[in-house]
Every structure is written in structure tokens, then in C-alpha cells.
Structure 1
Amino acid sequence: MKKVNFLIYTVAFTSLIASCTSDFEEINTDPNRLEAIGASTLLNPILYNLTDHNSYSAWHNRTAHFMQAIVPYPSTASGGYHRYDVTDDIGTTMWNNHYRWLKNIEEMVTVSEEKNDANYHAIALTLKAWAYANLTDCFGDIPFTQAGKGDEGIDKPVFDKQEDIYKQILADLDQANALYDTSSKSIFTPDLLYSNDFAKWRKLTNSLHVRMLLRVSNVMPSATQKINEILSNPAVYPVFTSSADDAILINTGVAPNLTPWPRIMDYAANKKLSSFFIDNLLEMNDPRLQLWATQATDLQGKAIGYKGIPSGYSEGENAFNYNPSAPNDKVALAPMKSIIMTYGELAFIKAELAFKGQLAGNPEDFYKEGVKAAMNVWGITMPDTYFDNPVTQYNNTLEQIMLQKYYALYFTDNQTWMDYRRTGFPKLPLQPNLYNNGVMPNRYPYPPNVKMQNTENYDAAVQVMGGDGLNTKVWWERF
């Protein structure tokens, strides 16, 4: 095997987790001292760093602003992602983070193949598909076949079409499912997600497969058929069956497994919750509100209940005669949940497909199961009377399904933004002074350093994509 050239803490992570005597400080090392590495050794750093980014940067700093959960406050009367004022470098951290860890995922694929380690090979393919789907859904066409090959002399990779990327990662997920040997036991340090439970890893592989198939179902006619093949054959394609299967990495708060907010006061600093987010939960009499939000106060500091502010508000903060509800830092305190995918999300996928007549089953049953499971994520038992409320009673509309799914995806990277671009739901109230003519951005612009350092391939990609603008639709949006 070729000598490994990457950060040494990917090797040392296992012992760090056990001893808790260090952190994730990046230390360069002489690659000639590393002759071999196990796939299991790579897994925990990949999991930690991708989920850490997705909780902090993808969700909290970007998608939650687009999708009217979080609103910057105090804020000037203009600018900000909640007003669709998107800078060229909005996606830079995601691009850099994902490609960096995709390099390690590729190494994990190689090592597991060489050592004939089927389960870790399957996990590596799953992580590869998950990470590339997140990237291509945000940007469109991206480097794929030539990505991460700088050690082979390819420092200016070509951009692959999103359609081709999706075809390959869907095939990789099929391959991963077939590779698992769930009767095999691992002797290695437990992974941060499932503690080496390969049966649960296999369920995640197939559940992510269903998510990705739904994403492209409007432009890939075979996707719905494949979803039915997966969901109708649990012996061959096991998927999530309860909240016990949820793919949630727990940040313990014990070094090195810290939360993205070591200073908890930073979680809600200069942030409030939107009227849309708060008012829907109030109308639904939803118990999650007390966990996710603080109470608003009047100018004298007296609690006045839960009250948000309009996302994209045109006035300065002085226009409000109260201190709005803020994100509750209980959500970010250790043990913190970094969510990859949950059983609740899968239930809402089934509800949508059943509503459309594309899956057998009662959409109302799937809808109710999704709500219950979404509350389970946060340790909340759904009240017996929850569906007695006319607002929460199933009304046989996709809008209602997607609104509840919106809350089920709280803290889940970019997924609510992807669903909105695919379905137009939930319907978001729009203020009159939004940028981009009040149109939700369809994608991130390519990062500035990509434009400068890989100009020829960037230019070719932009020509194929039809532009590098916010409103340029990616492949699965073109229907």
C-alpha cells in the first residue's frame, strides 16, 4: 500500500477518545513514518469533523437563516443571509471542510479494500455518498472523479455533472448495502455513531439512499421505483424502523469530543428566532418550543411568552418594543446531538410518497409516526392530545407534511433548504426588502479560491451549469 500522507490526528483519534487528554489540534507529520493505517482509525475523525461542521456552519450559520428559523439580532436594516444577501464565499467553509475529509474517506475506501474489510468498506462508501451529496446539492457540478488526487499530480480537477455524481453515489450505496456482514464483530475502538453496530450502519446506508433518491425523483423516473424496491424488501434493504436507529453523533463535551460551541454563550449570541418558527409551534401547541426557544421579555426584562421577529425585517432592532425569543442554549450544551439522519425524516419521506400515490400505505399514519419520532429525537414524549388540535390534525396536504418535516429536520445540516428547493414548502412569509428579488437562493456560488486556482475547469463548469449565480438551478431542480 502507498504511504499515507495526511494529518496525524486521524491516526491518533482513537487513543485520544479513550484517554481524553488532548484535542483535535492539527499536527503535520512526516508521511514516511506511516506505512499503514486501519480503516477504523480514520472513521471517528471523519464523523466528528463532518458532523461538527454540519451542526455549526451548515445549519446554525446558513440554512437556519435561509429557512427562517434563526434571525440575526441586533442587525442593520440590510444585509444578512436571512435577507438572501449572499456573499461569494458563503460556501467556502463547506467546500474546504468536505473536500478535506473526503480525502480521508477515499483513503478509508482504499485501506478497507486492500484489507478486505467489507464492513468498513461499506461505511466508507456510505460516508462518501453522504458527503458528496451534501456538496453537490449546495453547489451543483463539482470535482468528483478527479477530486483529492493532488498526490497523483492532479491539482486542478475537472468538474463532474451533478447527474453523473448522483448516479455514482447511488450505485455506491447499493454496493455498500451488499458488502455488509452484520454478523461480524469489530475488535476496534467503538465508532462515535453506532459503536461498531454494523446492522445499524447498514440501516443508515439504505435510509440515506432513500433520501437521495427522493431528492432526484423529479428528474430521475427510476428513483421512485428504486425507493419502493428498498422500502418493500427489508430483508435485503434494511432501513430505520424506530428512533433507536437514529444516526445522531453525541458530542459528550469531554475533550476531544467537544461541541462546536466550547463557549456556550456563543450559540445564541446576536441571534433570535423568527416569527414564522415560533408562531407555528405556538399554533400547534408543540412541546418542542420550550426546549428550542427562550421566552421573550419586555423592555423591563419581564417574560412575555414566546415571540419571534420577522425574518428579513426591514427596520433596525430598535423597531421592536420587546426582546425576542432566542435559540435556547440547552440544545448546544453537552451532550449535544449532531444529526445525520433520523427515523422521523424517513417517516416523512414515506408520508410524502404515500400522499403522491407513489408508495403503498396510509400517509396519515406515516405523518403521525414522523411527528412522534421527531419529538423522540429531543427526548420529548408526544402528548396524547397533539393531533386533536385542528392545526395538527392530518389534512391530506403536502404542505402540512413538509411543515412538520421542517421541524423534524431541526439541526440537520442543509436538509430543510434542499426540501424547500425541491417542493416549495414550507411556505415562508417574505418581507418586502429582501435581496435577490425575494427569491430563495438555489445554490452557493463557487468559492473565490476555486475560481482563481482552477479557472479553466471552473469556466467550463459554469458554461455547462448555465452560470454561477444564486438562481442557477442544479440538475435535480430542473423539472
Structure 2
Amino acid sequence: MKKNILKIVFTLFVFSSFTACTSEFDETNIDPNLTTSVTPGSLINPVIYGLSSNNALKNYDITSALMQVHVPYPDVTAGGVHRFDITQGTGSSTWSSGYNWLANVNEMLKRSKELNLPNYEAIALTLRAWGFSNLTDMFGDIPMSEALRAEEGISQPKFDTQKDIYEILLADLERANSLYNKAIPLPYTADLLYNNNLTAWQKFTNSLHLRLLLRTSNKSDFNSSQKIITILSDVQKYPIFASNADNAVLQVTGISPNLSPWPRPQDYNNGRAMGSFFVDKLVEREDPRINFIATKARDFNNQEIGFKGIPAGYNGSEIFDYAPSGLVRLQAEAPMKIVIMTYSEVEFIKAEMAQKGLYNNAETHYVNGVTAAIEYLTQQPIPSNYFDNVNNKYNSTLEQIITQKYLSLYFVDYQQWYEYRRTGFPKLPQIQAGRNNNIMPSRLLYPTSVQTHNYNNYLKALEIMGPDDINTKVWWEK
């Protein structure tokens, strides 16, 4: 417990300046020696910021590299994530950061119950589902039921199967929805995500529920598709995102401690170039988002030659006859936005359900999803002729829906990679100098610390899940 409280006290100290801007000073004078002084309100902002900022960094390092959004350049090394060169350290930050912040979520959940604050309990369950779903989708089977219980003497937690974890998370989100009581306002300092708006939080809970149900929709014993339809058919009971105003987005102000994850903005765009696949998808669609994501390529006379990336997994020895499109630094410079989930994702879920014949109006929801994604990133109306382009006009295929969803998930933690593993779309080109026989990894390796500190349970997990190998498919992929 002492270790957990020290962690909580540290985050309270770091985030204390958030309370200085409000009239509620009850959290600025917390006695760090008293466990009972920790409130759900004192934990929520550090958790939101901590998980979001690390996810943004890992999107840059992992997702965007695997999904050919951008690649190291110039790069003459033999390895790199964009070449599917995955080490035990590739996912270590996701693992350690995830569990660190989930410890605070668990404390938030505990204190919510002790103080009889069901709205905070609902939010804590939502944050826990968000955090644990990203961990299990990245690694497969992980500790959950016995995790973060060192104060109870459990220093080597067992691994739960991914199926069991999803059963817990889906049940948690169902319970969270039932707990919200808008007649009782949140009593503590405004949260960073929704400014204590309970209607908005409930919409996030149910929209996240849709995401996780879709992830498991290929598992017939979960009946997830029918549950999706149940939620979509009863928005009074299950309110969900209905416009971009509902998006779950961390607004990074740049005012300490709410800073960009990149201490030096130049570290975001130096040594990287846009991937050909991602840039070409935007160019062929005449998509206005490209101006907000990429710079224009230049020839050796320093003349602009339009948007042009380089192929992911290139040999490393090529001499390109142009300077490729780079990354727009403003994406990582405060004030900036770290997206957790958007209304466009909900519309693409509806479109997929309709494309499969389980819901209505696939084209309408496809158009809504594309429109919302473009208008959110550009903050401008979608071009009136956008869907005249043959690449954009709805063609009734799942591939088209997921390809546009891929574009919409730009800079959203690990979701592009997870969706690719679930659907096989978009169809990525073969990389030139790939490791792993040019096969997209299905998971990341457990960090070295797992073997070092929890070896026996690690071995038991492998007996059930399969080898600790990047080609071992997680439960919902099998």
C-alpha cells in the first residue's frame, strides 16, 4: 500500500496546479499520510493525462511504424519496428505505464465505492476498460484479477486469459452505464476530458463498449454483434457519441503540467518521413486532411513536388531522388489534442454492422464517419465534391469502410494496428526489407521484467496462449 500511496501522492503533487484554477480547494491540501484523504477526483486527471500521453508516444513509435503511416528517415539500420523488428523492449513502456496508471484507477474505483460515489465508480470502470483493453490487445493474456495487489501479498499475479479479461471489461462497461446518476453532480475539481459532464462520460462509456464488442465480434460465443445492435437500438438507455462534440479528446494546453508528450517538438518530425502508403491513400482521395498531417516533398532543387512519402521497410541503402514529405510538427506541439475515441469511429462501427446486414443504412453511416473524421481534423466543412471521387464513393465493401476508418484513426493510440489484425484491412503493401518473413506481428513480446519477476506465471500463461512470439495470435484473432 505504501508504494501505491507514494505514487498517488506524486501524481497529486504534479497535478495540483489544476485545482488552483477552481474555487474548490479541497484537494490542494490533501494530507499525503492519510489514505482516506485520496479522493476519486484527485486521481482522475493524472490517469487521463498519463495514459493518453504515453499512448500518443507509442502511437508514434509502434502503431504508425507498423501501419506505414510514417517511417524513420534517413535510416540505414537493419532493424526498426517498420521492418517488423520487434524486441522485448518494444512494448515495455506500454506495459509499465499501463500498469502504473491502472494502479491509480483501481484506487479510484476503491475510493468511489467507499465514499458512495457511483458516478466516479462508473468513470473508473470506464478508464479501467480503456487501459486494460489496450494492454491485452497488445500482449494477449496478462495479469488482471490479481494485478496491482501487492499490498495484499500478491507480488506475482497470475495471468488471466484474454477471453476472461474481455468478459470482465464488457461486464464492467455494462455496469458503468447503469451507475450514472446525472442528478448528482461530480463534487471534485473538473476533469480534463469532459469537465465533469456526466452525459458526455456516459456516452464515452457506451462508445468504448461498442469498440470492445466489435473487437470480439468474430467470437460466436460472445454474441457481441447482437449486443452492439442492442446498444445502437436503445440510445435512451445507452447514449453514445452523436457528433464531434462528444469526442473523447485530451486538450493539451501546454501549461504545466498539461504539456505535450514531446518535450522538444522537433523530436516529432526530425528523422521521420511520411510513409508512401498512407500519403498515397490521402492523395488519391483528394483528402484535405493531408495538409494538416504532412509537408510537401521537394526535389533536389528545393522545389515542391506535391505529397510523396517513402515505402515502409525500405532497404536503407536507397538514394531517393527527392526529399520526402515529412510530419507537420503542430500535431505534437501544444496546444494539441490527444484523441482517445471519436464519433467517427462509432459511425464506422454502425457502417460495418450494416454492411454485414445486421443494421441499416451502411452508406449513410459510412458517409457520416468519413465526414466527421475530416471535419474534426481540419475544423472545416468536408469538400462538397468529396464523395464524387471514385475512391470515396461508397462501394458496399468492408475494405472501403475499414480503409477510411484507418485514415480516421490517425494518431489514435494502437487502434489502426488492432483493426488491421481484426479485419486484414487496409491491404498494406509488402515491405522491402522486412524481418519476420514480412508478416505483420500479431502481438508484442512480454517485457523482460515479466520473466524476471513473475517467471512461473509467465510460463503458465504460455501453456494456454502459446509461445511468447510476435506471431502468436491473441484470442480474438484466432
- TM value normalised by structure 2: 0.95
* Map of 1:17 onto structure 2: 18
SS at match of 2:239: coil
**Other-structure match for 2:276:** 275
2:388 alignment partner in structure 1: 388
Contact 2:262 2:332 in 1 (8 A): yes
The match for 1:213 is: 213
- Measure, in 2, the Cα distance between the counterparts of 1:325 and 1:374: 22
Q: Which amino acid aligns with 1:76?
A: V
* CA distance in structure 2 between the aligned counterparts of 1:161 and 1:34, rounded to whole angstroms: 32
1:363 paired with 2:365, answer no
Q: Which amino acid in the other structure matches residue 272 of structure 2?
A: K
Mapped to 1, the partners of 2:316 and 2:463 lie a distance apart of 39
Query: Equivalents in 1 of 2:262, 2:153: separation in Å?
Result: 38
Deviates more, 1:77-86 or 1:239-248: 77-86
Give 1:45-444 correspondences, 5 Å limit: 45-57=46-58, 59-76=59-76, 78-221=78-221, 222-316=223-317, 318-359=318-359, 361-378=360-377, 379-444=379-444
**Deviation digits for residues 434-454 of structure 1, max 9, x if unmatched?**
111111000011101111111
Instruction: Tell me how far 1:394 sits from its aligned partner.
Output: 0.7
Question: In the alignment, is the contact (CA less than 8 A) between 2:159 and 2:461 conserved in 1?
Answer: yes
2:253 is matched by which residue type in structure 1?
Answer: T
SS in 2 for 1:338: strand
Output the amino acid matched with 1:199: T
Q: CA deviation at 1:34?
A: 4.4
Whether the aligned pair in 1 keeps the contact of 2:120 and 2:186 (CA below 8 Å) is no
> Deviations for 1:250-309, whole angstroms, at most 9, x for unmatched residues?
100111100111211111111000111111111100000011001111123222211100
| Distance of aligned partners of 1:30 and 1:243 in 2 relative to their CA distance in 1, 3 Å threshold | closer
Give the Cα–Cα distance (whole angstroms) in 1 for the partners of residues 61 and 451 of structure 2: 23
| Inter-partner Cα distance in structure 2 for 1:206 and 1:314 | 44
| Structure 1 moving runs of 4+ over 4 Å | 1-4
Q: Quick one: distance in 1 between partners of 2:364 and 2:299?
A: 42
Amino acid at match of 1:446: Y
CA drift at 1:151: 1.3
With over 3 angstroms needed to count, the CA separation of the structure-2 counterparts of 1:30 and 1:182, relative to structure 1, is closer
The TM-score with structure 1 as length reference comes to 0.95
**Which deviates the most, 419-428 or 307-316?**
307-316
Most deviating of 374-383 and 39-48: 374-383
> What secondary structure sits across from 1:469 in the alignment?
coil
Worse overlay, 295-304 or 438-447: 295-304
Using the alignment, how far apart are the partners of 1:296 and 1:14 within structure 2?
A: 41
Answer whether contact 1:206 1:238 (CA < 8 A) is retained: yes
Residue identity opposite 1:132 in structure 2: F
CA offsets 1:311-334 (integer angstroms, 9 cap, x no match): 111242x52011100111121122
For residue 432 of structure 1, report the CA deviation from its aligned partner. Answer: 3.7
Higher deviation after alignment, 373-382 or 256-265 = 373-382
What one-letter code is carried by the residue in structure 2 that aligns with 1:286?
Answer: D
Quote the offset at 1:14 in angstroms: 5.0
One-letter code aligned to 2:237: V
Indicate conservation of the 8 Å contact 1:420/1:426, yes or no: yes
**CA distance in structure 2 between the aligned counterparts of 1:427 and 1:380, rounded to whole angstroms:** 29
Tell which deviates more after alignment, 291-300 or 134-143.
291-300
Percentage identity across paired residues of the two chains: 48
- What amino acid is aligned across from residue 50 of structure 1 in structure 2? L
Q: Which amino acid aligns with 2:471?
A: N
Deviations 1:84-135 (A, max 9, x none): 1111211100000000011100000000001110110000000001100000
SS in 1 for 2:156: coil
Stretches of structure 1 that go unaligned for 5 or more consecutive residues are 21-28
Native 8 Å contact 2:126 2:173 kept in 1: yes
TM-aligned CA deviation for residue 392 of structure 1: 0.7
Q: Is the 8 A contact 1:146 1:154 kept in 2?
A: yes
* CA distance in structure 2 between the aligned counterparts of 1:232 and 1:278, rounded to whole angstroms: 37
User: Residues 386-435 of structure 1, C-alpha deviation per residue, up to 9 Å, x if partnerless?
Assistant: 00111111111111111100011111100010000010000001124311
Residue correspondences, number? 467
Q: Per the alignment, in what secondary structure is the counterpart of residue 5 of structure 1?
A: helix
Structure 2 CA distance for partners of 1:14 and 1:264, relative to 1, 3 Å: closer
Once residues 31 and 140 of structure 1 are traced to their aligned partners in structure 2, the CA distance between those partners, rounded to angstroms, is 36
Preserved CA contact (<8 Å) 2:279 2:307 = yes
Partner SS, residue 267 of structure 1:
helix
Contact 1:3–1:32, Cα closer than 8 Å, also in 2: no
Q: Deviations over 1:12-54 (max 9, x none)?
A: 355312448xxxxxxxx99635442110110000000000001
Amino acid at match of 1:121: E
For residue 228 of structure 2, give the secondary structure of its aligned residue in structure 1: helix
Cα deviations by residue, 1:72-91 (Å, 9 ceiling, x for unpaired): 11111521111111112111
1:4 shift after superposition: 6.5
Within the alignment, does 1:447 sit opposite 2:463 as a pair? no
